[in-house]
Structure 1
Amino acid sequence: MRGTSLRLRLLIGAGVWIGLAMIAVGVLLIHLFRAHLEASAETELRATLNRLVAQVDRIEIGDLDRPLADPRYELPYGGLYWQIDGPDGEVLARSPSLFDVTLDLGQDASPALIVSEGPAGMPILGLSQTIRFSGPPDNRLVVTVARDREQIDLSVRTFSMQLTSALALVWGALTLAAVLQVHLGLAPLASLRTGIEDIRTGRAARLRDDYPLEIGPLVEQVNGLLDAQRAMLEFARARASDLAHALRTPLSALGATEARLRDLGDDQEADALDRLVQTMNERIEYQLRLTQLRLRSASATASTPLSPAIEQVVSVLKRTERGGMVTWKIACPDGAIVQLDRHDLIELIGVLLDNGLRHTCDTIEIAVCQEDENLRIIVADNGPGMTEEQMKTARQRGVRHDQSQAGTGLGLSIAHDIVEINGGRVVLERAPLGGLGVSVFLPGALPDD
Structure 2
Amino acid sequence: MIGSRSLTARVLLLATLWSGVALVVIALVISALYRQSAERAFTDLLRAQLYNVINSVSIGENNSLVGNPQLGDLRYSQPETGWYWIIEPLGTFAAAPLASSSLGVSKIVVPSILTVPFNNRYERFYPVTDAFGNSVLVAETEVVLDSEGRAARFRVAGNLDAMEEDISAFDRSLYLALFVFGVGSLIVNGGAILFGLQPLDRARRALGKIRRGEAERLEGEFPREILPLVNEVNALIESNRRIVDRARMQVGNLAHSLKTPLAVLINEARSLDSSQQELIKSQAEAMQAQVQSYLNRARIAAQRESVLVRTEVGPVLERLVRVMRRLNPDKEFHLSVEPGCVLAMEQQDVEETVGNLLENAARFCRSGVWLSAVPTADARGIEGVEGVRRTWLEVVVEDDGPGLDPEQADEAMKRGRRLDESRPGAGLGLSIVREIASEYQGLFELDRGGRGGLRAVLILPSVTKDVA
1:355 and 2:360 correspond: yes
What secondary structure is seen at the aligned counterpart in 1 of 2:235? helix
State the partner residue of 1:101.
107
What code does the residue aligned with 1:92 have?
P
Aligned with residue 269 of structure 1, among 266, 269, 276: 276
2:398, 2:453 within 8 Å by CA — same for their partners in 1?
A: no
**151-160 or 166-175: which moved more?**
166-175
Query: Within 1, Cα distance between the matches of 2:407 and 2:199?
Result: 49
1:381, 1:437 within 8 Å by CA — same for their partners in 2?
A: no
2:34, 2:167 within 8 Å by CA — same for their partners in 1?
A: yes
**247-256 or 24-33: which moved more?**
247-256
What code does the residue aligned with 1:400 have?
R
* Structure 1 length-normalised TM: 0.73
1:208 and 2:219 correspond: yes
Aligned with residue 81 of structure 1, among 73, 81, 84: 84
2:244, 2:299 within 8 Å by CA — same for their partners in 1?
A: no
**370-379 or 139-148: which moved more?**
370-379
Number of equivalences: 427
Residues 301 and 156 (structure 1 numbering): CA distance in 2 closer, same or farther, change over 3 Å? Answer: same
Query: Within 2, Cα distance between the matches of 1:314 and 1:346?
Result: 16
What secondary structure is seen at the aligned counterpart in 1 of 2:67? coil
Residues 345 and 248 (structure 1 numbering): CA distance in 2 closer, same or farther, change over 3 Å? Answer: closer
State the partner residue of 1:53.
54
Aligned with residue 165 of structure 2, among 154, 164, 167: 154
The equivalences for 1:34-433 within 5 A come to 34-42=35-43, 44-58=45-59, 60-65=63-68, 70-88=73-91, 92-98=97-103, 99-102=105-108, 104=110, 106=113, 110=121, 114-120=125-131, 123-128=135-140, 131-132=143-144, 135-136=147-148, 138-161=149-172, 163-164=174-175, 166-208=177-219, 210-260=221-271, 262=272, 265=273, 267-285=274-292, 298-299=308-309, 301-302=311-312, 304=315, 309-315=320-326, 317=327, 327-331=330-334, 347=352, 350-358=355-363, 360=364, 363-367=366-370, 378-382=397-401, 384-391=402-409, 398=415, 400-402=417-419, 404=421, 405-415=423-433, 428-431=446-449
State the partner residue of 2:466.
none
1:350 deviation in Å?
Answer: 4.1
What secondary structure is seen at the aligned counterpart in 2 of 1:125? strand
2:86, 2:100 within 8 Å by CA — same for their partners in 1?
A: yes
Query: Within 1, Cα distance between the matches of 2:406 and 2:223?
Result: 54
What secondary structure is seen at the aligned counterpart in 1 of 2:419? coil
State the partner residue of 1:437.
455
Query: Within 2, Cα distance between the matches of 1:337 and 1:36?
Result: 70
What secondary structure is seen at the aligned counterpart in 2 of 1:386? coil
2:125, 2:139 within 8 Å by CA — same for their partners in 1?
A: yes
1:399 deviation in Å?
Answer: 5.2
What code does the residue aligned with 1:119 have?
D
1:83, 1:144 within 8 Å by CA — same for their partners in 2?
A: yes
Query: Within 1, Cα distance between the matches of 2:287 and 2:16?
Result: 67
Residues 420 and 63 (structure 1 numbering): CA distance in 2 closer, same or farther, change over 3 Å? Answer: farther
What code does the residue aligned with 1:72 have?
R
What secondary structure is seen at the aligned counterpart in 1 of 2:155? strand
Residues 103 and 97 (structure 1 numbering): CA distance in 2 closer, same or farther, change over 3 Å? Answer: farther
Residues 389 and 158 (structure 1 numbering): CA distance in 2 closer, same or farther, change over 3 Å? Answer: farther
1:275 deviation in Å?
Answer: 0.4
Query: Within 1, Cα distance between the matches of 2:124 and 2:196?
Result: 54
What code does the residue aligned with 1:33 have?
Y
Q: RMSD of the TM alignment (CA)?
A: 4.7
Q: Please, which runs of 5 or more residues in structure 2 have no aligned partner?
A: 377-392, 463-468
1:201 deviation in Å?
Answer: 3.9
Query: Within 1, Cα distance between the matches of 2:311 and 2:170?
Result: 66
Query: Within 2, Cα distance between the matches of 1:193 and 1:395?
Result: 41
Query: Within 2, Cα distance between the matches of 1:399 and 1:297?
Result: 34
Query: Within 1, Cα distance between the matches of 2:108 and 2:322?
Result: 114
1:108, 1:142 within 8 Å by CA — same for their partners in 2?
A: no
1:381, 1:434 within 8 Å by CA — same for their partners in 2?
A: yes
Identity level (%): 25
Cα displacement string for residues 110-169 of structure 1 (whole angstroms, at most 9, x for unaligned residues) = 487834325247543344566555524x34444332212122123324543554455445
Cα displacement string for residues 53-82 of structure 1 (whole angstroms, at most 9, x for unaligned residues) = 332243744342466554432344421111
1:304, 1:339 within 8 Å by CA — same for their partners in 2?
A: no
What code does the residue aligned with 1:351 have?
N
What secondary structure is seen at the aligned counterpart in 1 of 2:254? helix
1:413 deviation in Å?
Answer: 4.8
* Structure 2 length-normalised TM: 0.71
1:390 deviation in Å?
Answer: 4.4
